[in-house]
Amino acid sequence: MTKISNIFGTTFSGRVGRKMVAGTWKGHEYIRPYVKPTDTKTESQMEQRKLFSQAVEAWHKLAPRQQEFYNRIADGMTGYNLFVKRHIEAQMNDMVPEVPIVMRWKTADGQPVEHGKLIVLQGNNQVFNDSLKDAVGEVALTPSDAPYTFMLKKGTQEENVLTIRDLGETDVPMVLESKTLGIKLVADVQAPPVGGASRVA
């Protein structure tokens, strides 16, 4: 606990009497007037806490790949903070909070592709980089963060095979194919939960 001594050697720590508080800020000791905390149970504050709690609960309900998506696109903050921020903003604007759409892919012949990869880009940002060694997998994307570019890679060769500008206008299942690399994937959308916010038409 911070301790401050005056010129007489008297040491202060925490609240000093009824009108002063001792503390430390950025390594500097200070004494400031004591300000009585405002009411923390106003209607507005209670509503903010409710929205925050709902956003946190929604984050924990996301699948790992959905959380990973936010972790990959967040800039200057965590994926968790980005999701919570967007969730609260949507509710405050009477909108349904967005949830990433899960797209499951598999190789067309059901066979693994050694040294093969599916890469999903958002601009120059690599959102997913998945091996094709298991022949199946999934990614999760939000409509609002499009466009996305899908790239197939094998060894040192790679090819952009599809750019999606509007997830809502994308036909599914969709085919991701590179004849040059000999890779063909088929991707479909996982049905959203009842009352879910995002879907592909």
pTM: 0.73
3-state SS assignment for residue 145 = helix
Task: Decide if pLDDT at 18 tops 70.
Answer: no
**HEC letters along 34-99:** CCCCCCCCCHHHHHHHHHHHHHHHHHHHCCHHHHHHHHHHCCCCCHHHHHHHHHHHHHHCCCCCCC
pLDDT on residue 42: 79
With contact defined as beta carbons under 8 Å apart, do 106 and 83 qualify? no
Domain 101-189 has CATH 2.40.30: no
Question: pLDDT per residue over 132-177, tens digit each?
Answer: 999 999 999 999 999 999 999 999 999 999 999 998 888 889 999 9
Closest alpha carbon to 152 in 123, 121, 124, 174 = 121
In angstroms, rounded to a whole number, what is the distance separating the alpha carbons of residues 31 and 13?
A: 9
At residue 82, the pLDDT reads 96
pLDDT at 17 over 80: no
The domain limits of the chain are: 4-33, 43-92, 101-189
